[in-house]
Each structure stands twice: as C-alpha cells, then as structure tokens.
Structure 1
C-alpha cells in the first residue's frame, strides 16, 4: 500500500467525481464559454487518475494534448492504464507540484478540487500561472464546502437538524488559519487570480443537482446513495464517538460543538435509506482567467 494518501483513495475519487458535474456542462464550457477552437496543450495539476482529461479530451479540438501531474504513483499508473487504449497524446509526470519550477509551455493549466488541499493555495496557483504561455488560461474547479453542505435537502427533516452551517463555517475558517488548507477556496479564487495578475476573470457554478428518488430506478438510487456515502461522505455513519470528537477538537471545536456535529451526522446516517428523498446541489465553481504578461 502506498504511503501517499490519495493513492489509496482511487475508488473514492472514481465514485464521487461524477457527483459534481454534468458531462454536457463541460461541453458548454468548452464550446460556449472558453471557446476553444484550436488544439491546445492542457496540463492538469493534481490530476489523480486523469478525470479531467477523460472528460475534456473528447471535447477539445483534434490534436490537443494532455499532461497530468500528481504525486501519487498509483494514481498515475491507473491513469496511464485508462488512457493507454485511447487515441490521445498524453504524458504523466510524478512529483509534488508545490516544488515544481515551471516554464510557460501550456495553453491551459487546470485543476479540480486540488487547491483546497494545499497549505499555500496562492503559491500553488502561481505555479499553475507560471506554466502557461502568454494569453493562455488558468482554470480552477473548486468547492465552497459550506455552500455545498447548505445545498442538501432531506425530505421530512429540518435542515438545521442535520447541517449546522454556522459551525461548519467556523470549522473551515479555523482550518485555514491553522494549516492553510481552505475548503471554501472556491468563492475566493476570483480575488486570488486578480491579485496574481490574471485578466478576464470569470466564475461559473456547475449546474449539477443530485436527486435521490425512491420512486425512480432502484439501481440508480442505490448507486447514487452509495457514492454519496463513500469514504465517510454525506449520510455515512460518523463511527465511534471518541475519535470523532477528538478529531474535531483538534481542529479547534469546543466539546459542545464537536458533540453537536456528531449528533447531526449520526442522525443523518440513521435517517437516510432506500426510501429517502434527497436533493443536493454541490455548486462546484469553475473560476478562470487569462495570463497576460505582455506590457500594453
């Protein structure tokens, strides 16, 4: 087993990525928003198993290339296997992106749910910018976790009984101050991009809305619920009380806050089953800007 955390989360990544986006929304962005009409050299920071490449390469003009960078050797091996039978020019680079020295050689640098895990996301964003040629784009797809959690509705349950938005907001703010990682970075990226010199900055929100419908296809319902619960996700059991409480207290929660969050998650795990109606709007944000080094 690899020592790298995400090497051991391939199943989690494969099951949860489709929860964030509709495929036709990628098509809309490529054709109507980014207006990519010529082949591009695409680099994916924190590429994982190559999810973005799998989604974007079929939509990009013929001749486009994809380079994935990740620290996970198992992830890259899995990505290489997935792309081996596909008709695209790809390259995978193993390494810690925070220590890369990049030359501007790509038309687009992109990342997905990556900067939120960085201790210094602005420094990593600068590395992405450095990899792009003048006039190229930097695209970051990130969440605002508090807004994401507020996007749930479980039929017959008061939202405040399962999602304490105020507590989650404080928790993520404390995390950012304590270790730099920012689960709410999605809402801040337009500001960061502007401060780092990008121009023509825009931000869009994914149109994906999940609907757990017990009156619909039973297999679809079961698969979606399992994906949402994957690896301690929404509706999963919080597990034993003591480690859960200690974990939240280590992140700055009081014992009262930690107990309240445990009760919320336990209640939710007991409420959701094959008969539950649930809607969720993840609200992933696509923020992008243009690299403009040329002096006017």
Structure 2
C-alpha cells in the first residue's frame, strides 16, 4: 500500500509539471492553431534564467523566480514578434509555422548549450528538500510547491480568460480571428500577449523542474512531449482539458511502471496517447 501511495503522489507531482506545460501550450494553440515546438525550450530558458540570477548573481530567490518567469515570457513574445507574426502576415500554413518553431527550438537550445555548456545543473540548494509524509508516501517541500504552483496557475489563467476584457479578446480570436479583427480587436497584440503568458508558464515549469531535479539545455524536449501528450488526451486547445490530461498522464505513467521496468515509463505515455488518438481523438473535453 505504501508503494501505491508513493506512486500516486509521484503521479500527481508529475501531472502538476505537465499541467504547466499543457496550460501554456493549449493557450497558444487555441489562438494560433499551430503546434509551437519552441514551447519546450522556453522551460529551459526559464530554468537557466533563474540559475543565472540566483546561483551566479546571488539575487533573492523570489525575485529570481519572478524574473526568470518574465524572461521566459519575453523570449516567447520575441519568438512571436520576430518569426511567427511575420509568417502569419504572409499567410504561411500551419506546417510552415511548425517547421519554423522547430528551427527556433533547435537554435535556442544550441545557444543555451554554448552559453552554459551541456553540464547538468541543480537548483536544489536554493529550495527546501525536506521530506514530508503524506498519505503513506513521501514528498519534498519543493514537490508540494510544484503542485500548488500548477493549481494556482490554472486558477489564475481561468480567472484571466473568463473575467477580463483581455480574456474575451482571446476567446474571440480563438473562435474566429477574422471576425475578431473586424470588430476592432488588435489580434496581433493579443496574440503577442498570449505568447508571453504561455511562455511564462513554460518558464515556471522549467524552474520548478530545476528545484526538483535539475536543469540542462536539452530538458525542453521531454517536457514538450509530455505537455503535448497531455494537451491531446485532455483536448487540444482546451486549458481545462489539458490540466485533466496532464494529471491523468502523470498517474498512468507512474502506476504503469508498478509492474514493469521504469524504462517503459515513456512508452506507457505514448501508449496512452495512441489509445486516445484511436478511440477518442477529440480528447477528454472537446474544445
């Protein structure tokens, strides 16, 4: 029973990280309708921004987190302004945007490797790793922070989208960009803000991963894949579905390795994706 409790706690913690990636990914997809593969490298940018500010420059941990998240958001905003928005103005297809985002991902990841080397870096010295007993399992204080950060981000994003004029503009563009433009919404500006918010969420995920395990330039691809899988099984473009998909994914992949070797963890994730693509391609919640 203790093993089961621990696996469930591990699944919830993993789901919280995947949810942060899925939130940002689904938010951006809902407005732009393309799979932004560069979303993964923004997690690494956030992690390394925090590493630079906190461990290299010695800034306050809370200021470093806030600044690291903002830097990731600005990086995503910059990617949109410099690359994606120009392609959208030329009526580029979603396939072209997808390939462009892969190019952005590869370039940014290479830049991180050149600047920081490929050496694994840990942020654990700046965060509490005290063990806490919960429901027969053990979690660290950092993992509790990860879970609550994910839930707070979900609630904050839901409040932003449902209770502000900005949220109404986002939903209008998501429904029909041309109509939104006709009624006076500055679609380019709103899309840029969406990239900032979605990228900031990815940056937060990267920082939290650094607290829990560590960071390296190539960390973005793994987080991207789990965020995309969570988005698809939850309902791509639906932020609530993405969160549900993230926690389902985290639980299934951790419970799935109860009776099989841990090396099969990623295979379990993709098997779950295949099952949904075959039997429920619209995901848990339709967009």
Q: Which has the higher contact order (CA 8 A, sep 6+)?
A: 2
TM-score band w.r.t. shorter chain: under 0.3
Higher helix share: 2
Higher strand share: 1
Work out which of the two has the higher radius of gyration on C-alpha atoms and give 1 or 2.
Answer: 1
